[in-house]
Structure 1
Amino acid sequence: MNKKNKLIMFTILWLIVIGILYYTNVLTTDINKISTLIKGNPLKMKVIFVLLSTIRIMFFIPQTIFIIIGSIIFGPWVGFILSLLSLIISQSIIFFIGKNLNSSLLEDNFSLKQKNIINILKHYGYKILALGVICPITPSDLITFSAACIKLNYIKSIIVITIADIPIIFLYNFLLGETKVSYLFKLLTLLTIVFISYYSFLTWDKINKSVEI
């Protein structure tokens, strides 16, 4: 698919998403209106949120953005569950696409462009899959796709991805969600996120450089 066709496809998909948001009256900056809409149609809003945070993969939107949105809109506990559910669904879709994509297409394009990531996954397996999901500089969707391309086990991969993401989803939800906790707790939560992100970044960078050599 050439760049022009990709641009047309993404434009159409964006218009579909905007249409859904407009139709459901979500496309607004009025916080009171959004709050009223959520309270009036809680189940509908949850379904829409899971849908949008799943199809985000078509627009290369990071999962973290929807984790933050979910925690703010639905609160820490509901936001956590919805974000976790959409994570499992979206990563399963990515894995399915990667595993069933035409192999010749992978050899000509993807495998060559992402050779380093694939080599890392082949060498370290599920351990690096977990690290890739946690690390802030690595696109987790790309890591999942690469794992599928080299035929890692689907069940094991999804379990690893889920377990690796649970702490981050939990921390973001309790940092940003409307919950009665002290500022000290929020500060500790923020520091934990920073520490995990920084440590995972250093580890990934070290492994990446060693594979390049």
Structure 2
Amino acid sequence: MSRRSNGFDFTAAMRLVCADIAQRLPEMVHVEMDRVAIGVCQTRNRAMHGVFATLTPLRFAGGSAERKYRGRTLRIQPLVDGAGQEYLYLLNFYLPRFMNLPLEEKLSTIVHELWHIGPDFDGDLRRHEGRCYAHGSSQRKYDELMDRMTRKWLASDPPPHLYEFLEGDFDALAAEHGGIRGQRWPAPKMIPS
């Protein structure tokens, strides 16, 4: 990425990385990045514990646009791109915390969040059997799968310039580009249908 006076566009760079992962990994072929909003959230402090990234589905179970709750029909307030196309997912990265991870953990976090996207790409999450539907019965096995898919992506020889901005930490990236900027999205709300 080139040096810009208004800072490094983190969300644009992350979109390119995510699109490449979705294109190169057969397990992610269902992901259409033009229907995934990417945003940044600022963490309150630089502590390394806490959330690094989140994927928010913008539909209910099974891709339903509406849900009955206590006698009311609700929907999730839509997020739309500049052309008016509705997003199905919101992928947020928490800065500076995410950028302060080691490179492979950053990449594994990206794969982790993309894997949550349901295989039908209908705005719902990938659901595993049992009560722990988000990660399955074993968080350790889930994390191992994410690490394997990350190594598989790296072995597919993606262009290094695509993800080189992830090699350093937040302060290094900000210093190199005169700051970091990115799209911020409002938290999706439930609204009457």
TM-score bracket for this pair, using the shorter chain length: under 0.3
When Rg is computed on C-alpha atoms for both structures, the one with the higher figure is 1
TM-score, length-normalised on structure 2?
0.24
Tell which has more relative contact order, 1 or 2 (C-alpha 8 A, sep 6+): 2
Please identify which structure carries the higher helix content: 1
